[in-house]
Structure 1
Amino acid sequence: MSTTKQAHILLVDDDPNLLKLLGIRLKSEGFVITTALSGQEALKILNKESIDLVISDLKMDEMDGLDLFVEVQKSYSGLPVIILTAHGSIPDAVLATQQGVFGFLTKPVDKDALYKAIENALAQSFGNKANGDEWDENFITKSPIMLQVIEQAKMVALSEVSILINGASGTGKEVLAKAIHQASHRKNKPFIAINCGALPEQLLESELFGHTKGSFTGAVANRDGLFKAADGGTLFLDEIGDMPFSLQVKLLRVIQERKVRPLGANSDIDIDVRIISATHRNLIEAMEKNEFREDLYYRLNVVNLKLPTLNERSEDVPLLANLLLKKIAAKNKPSVKSFSPEALKKLASAKWPGNIRQLVNVIEQCVAITNATVINDTLIDKALQQESNSFTTLTEAKNQFEATYLKKILHMTKGNVTQAARLSDRNRTELYKLFAKHDLDPQDFK
């Protein structure tokens, strides 16, 4: 039988022998199979695994197949469910189909009928994605906050308005920007991203707008900028809040006139680019401090999307952790298969100042240092401790660098502030302020 991809099927039956037999049969067809002996166990698996289809027995203790279907639809609307029963009856079948169950088959199940039902269910499930829903396939979530952001993003994707994404570092701002591009009319054109805080001003200006040969030292040839390269598509300006103030004026002109002039050029170039920008900063506060232009802010912030931190969507941690483990282990150490229940509890209850990026680092560390097939809570504790020791905010990192640099230069000059000022290209007054900030006394280095 053919399917659009290797599907992951969850089998649910309180008879372990029938569960094993059906699992073996479907594995031989190339499906990935996970099994559960009860409806409650199935719901726990759905919280952790990415499942494409559920096949459940009808008659089970505590929660029968129809009750399970109702619970599945509450949290995973659209996930197809096929019901099997040894006590098939017309009323059961009618009730099941009225409630939305995809298929209803009587045991002993005819092999061809089962495979046809599976193929049809998966064709519908994957067909939805083929018709345009794949734009959000990188979002693994059951968080109401995150689902609302995704819904808002889908609504504005087909428009041409500029979008500003707010969110802390590591929350997935670029992932959301790419998804919006993929859901837009521009999806077959370039998506180009640049971090506006990662380059010096002149280099950033050249990267964005391009330059002509000889326009500055090192410009040995003409070069198109990223606006030109993204023509027809989307330009993602990450950390727009860190863009130098003087460049903000030039960016505003490009947005208003839809023209760009390369450095050193005498004429403009027409461009057709949608701009999505992102920042971790509070731009309202930046405007009040005259660090960000108000007119540019309103040009960029036509629609605002705010990504939650990982702590604000903690219910997603087990889902994300299991997905990341599969990807990381497959690339680095396929023998690592899963987390222990205690390890997942540790991950779910941990604080994540570095958000999803930090979660990735923790799982990469665990995979690297384990020889077991299951990652336990002790490994999670160790990785979290290393992360908490190594992870710092940008402000903390800058302060650490400043303190280290000042100590080094004071050692080199034996506490001579005049020489230290000359070496650091700073005046004495500024250096004394920095010494006070870091509680350093030049006399201690003489």
Structure 2
Amino acid sequence: MVDDDGDHLRAVTDWLTVSGFDVLAFERAEDAFKAVLDQRPDLVLTDLRMPGIDGVTLLNSIKRKAACVPVILLTAHGDVAAAVDAMKRGAEDFIEKPYDADRLVALLTKAVEKGRMSREIDRLQSLVEQQNEADAIIGDGPAMLALKRRVSALAQVDLDVLIIGETGTGKELVARALHNRSGRAAGPFVAINCGALPESIFESEVFGHVKGAFTGALSEREGKFEFADGGTVFLDEIEAMPPVLQAKILRVLQERVVERLGENRLRPVDVRIIAAAKTDLSAEMAAGRFREDLYYRLASVDIRIPALRERVEDIEQLFVHFATLAARRYGQAELRPTAGFLAGLRQEPWRGNVRELKARAERFALGLDADELQPAMSQMQTLALPEQIALYEAQLIASALSKNNGNTAHTAADLGIPVRTLNEKVSRYRLR
């Protein structure tokens, strides 16, 4: 809080402190700016008109050196135009004097929460970026270590690759890893689900079309292969591609050219093709459903992803990983699965593979599996008593909120506490 009016500064500081804020008060903008750089507060509330360095100058300095810190301005009635201009410069908001004290608290609370959410988004984005690295392929068992080595070896070799794995094993994850670690990482990664595109529009979507090529073609359109120039095309479920289209894809693989629908001109494309299939294509070829020449063109280099039942040693690590990500994404307290519960996961068939495990972990993180909410006593006993109580309370509240679809009034009634008390605990435990 920055204001050269000492009486007003003390009054506002006292009120905000009573309202639950930790406040550092300054009469000089210079001192406040040093504190911003040292402590990175959640928010700066500053008067607009001050002798020496005014509020706008302080705002500009903060935006240059600590852009993530939101700034709210206190203005007199005649300064509204200046305050609006300050918002164009990056101010979060402004409030006119005289103002209602409760409205000021509400404004600051909203701004602080918005700032925290912004930082949480940045943290999650950083987490996502980290998962584009080698550790994105989770698992340290023999099968996954072999897979990681093969992905690393093939990433730098600009060859087309066939990925084979059951539904839910992570074929697109492996394809993206190949792309991200290759010399094409700066180029586009374009995924095409061969089983989802109707045959009637497949050629137009994949190869593009010119104006008037068919009814409704009002302008020319670039196809996905052209869009991916310099990058990677991922053909998922290629076994579902009709034979007539397989021939067209084969031509792209062999000649690296595409021909837009309704055009006679060949357009060169610089792409790497990664195809994925749920089953061994040799069986599809033997049954006459997959072209022999396309199979041999793709199958020269392949990656086979093990099913989850073939890598049970990775199940616990995967489950905790997905549950932790889900808890952070949805603002829930991170629940700790018991050792017995984790061991039980190994006994399940996991026909949906990693995708099924991920869904199960997300249900657990959201408190939707009531039997799994109790923390392991062996884990609880390693914490101090207040921490044990806080963890257990957070789990109960998270479970009740999930049960009531986030309705705080119904949740408070179920827990037998006032809504205000519930809101305080939700804030304390960073629940949402």
1:197 Cα deviation (Å)? 0.5
Counterpart residue type for residue 339 of structure 2: P
* Contact 1:153 1:180 survives alignment (8 Å): yes
1:231 Cα deviation (Å)? 0.4
The whole-number CA distance in structure 2 between the counterparts of 1:364 and 1:155 is: 33
The whole-number CA distance in structure 1 between the counterparts of 2:348 and 2:365 is: 18
Residue correspondence of structure 1 range 10-21 to structure 2 within 5 A: none
* Contact 2:207 2:224 survives alignment (8 Å): yes
Q: Secondary structure at the match of 2:302?
A: strand
1:375 Cα deviation (Å)? 3.1
The whole-number CA distance in structure 1 between the counterparts of 2:279 and 2:215 is: 33
Q: Secondary structure at the match of 2:140?
A: coil
TM-score norm. by structure 1 comes to 0.53
Counterpart residue type for residue 228 of structure 2: A
Residue correspondence of structure 1 range 251-270 to structure 2 within 5 A: 251-270=249-268
Give the aligned partner of residue 288 of structure 1: 286
Q: Give the aligned CA root-mean-square deviation in angstroms.
A: 2.6
Counterpart residue type for residue 367 of structure 1: A
TM-score norm. by structure 2 comes to 0.55
1:376 Cα deviation (Å)? 4.9
Give the aligned partner of residue 337 of structure 2: 339
* Contact 1:162 1:303 survives alignment (8 Å): yes
The whole-number CA distance in structure 1 between the counterparts of 2:226 and 2:374 is: 50
1:219 Cα deviation (Å)? 2.0
1:134 Cα deviation (Å)? 6.1
Give the aligned partner of residue 42 of structure 1: none
User: In structure 2, do the counterparts of structure 1 residues 290 and 333 end up closer, same or farther at CA, with 3 Å as the change threshold?
Assistant: same
1:374 Cα deviation (Å)? 6.5
Give the aligned partner of residue 197 of structure 1: 195
Give the aligned partner of residue 167 of structure 1: 165
The whole-number CA distance in structure 1 between the counterparts of 2:146 and 2:206 is: 32
Give the aligned partner of residue 249 of structure 1: 247
1:81-107 Cα shifts (integer Å, max 9, x gaps): xxxxxxxxxxxxxxxxxxxxxxxxxxx
* Contact 1:191 1:233 survives alignment (8 Å): yes
User: In structure 2, do the counterparts of structure 1 residues 371 and 361 end up closer, same or farther at CA, with 3 Å as the change threshold?
Assistant: closer
The whole-number CA distance in structure 1 between the counterparts of 2:285 and 2:298 is: 13
Residue correspondence of structure 1 range 52-63 to structure 2 within 5 A: none
Q: Among residues 305, 310, 313, which one is paired with 1:315 in the alignment?
A: 313
Give the aligned partner of residue 272 of structure 2: 274
User: In structure 2, do the counterparts of structure 1 residues 228 and 218 end up closer, same or farther at CA, with 3 Å as the change threshold?
Assistant: same
1:318 Cα deviation (Å)? 0.4
Counterpart residue type for residue 322 of structure 2: L
Give the aligned partner of residue 174 of structure 2: 176
Give the aligned partner of residue 231 of structure 2: 233
User: In structure 2, do the counterparts of structure 1 residues 376 and 311 end up closer, same or farther at CA, with 3 Å as the change threshold?
Assistant: farther
Counterpart residue type for residue 288 of structure 1: A
1:350 Cα deviation (Å)? 1.4
The whole-number CA distance in structure 1 between the counterparts of 2:339 and 2:306 is: 26
Give the aligned partner of residue 187 of structure 1: 185
The whole-number CA distance in structure 1 between the counterparts of 2:141 and 2:369 is: 33
Counterpart residue type for residue 208 of structure 2: G
Counterpart residue type for residue 221 of structure 1: S
The whole-number CA distance in structure 1 between the counterparts of 2:276 and 2:369 is: 40
The whole-number CA distance in structure 1 between the counterparts of 2:374 and 2:307 is: 25
The whole-number CA distance in structure 2 between the counterparts of 1:281 and 1:216 is: 35
Residue correspondence of structure 1 range 284-433 to structure 2 within 5 A: 284-370=282-368, 375-376=373-374
Q: Secondary structure at the match of 1:192?
A: strand
Counterpart residue type for residue 218 of structure 1: G
The whole-number CA distance in structure 2 between the counterparts of 1:371 and 1:162 is: 43
The whole-number CA distance in structure 1 between the counterparts of 2:371 and 2:137 is: 27
User: In structure 2, do the counterparts of structure 1 residues 376 and 171 end up closer, same or farther at CA, with 3 Å as the change threshold?
Assistant: farther
Counterpart residue type for residue 238 of structure 2: I
Q: Secondary structure at the match of 1:220?
A: coil
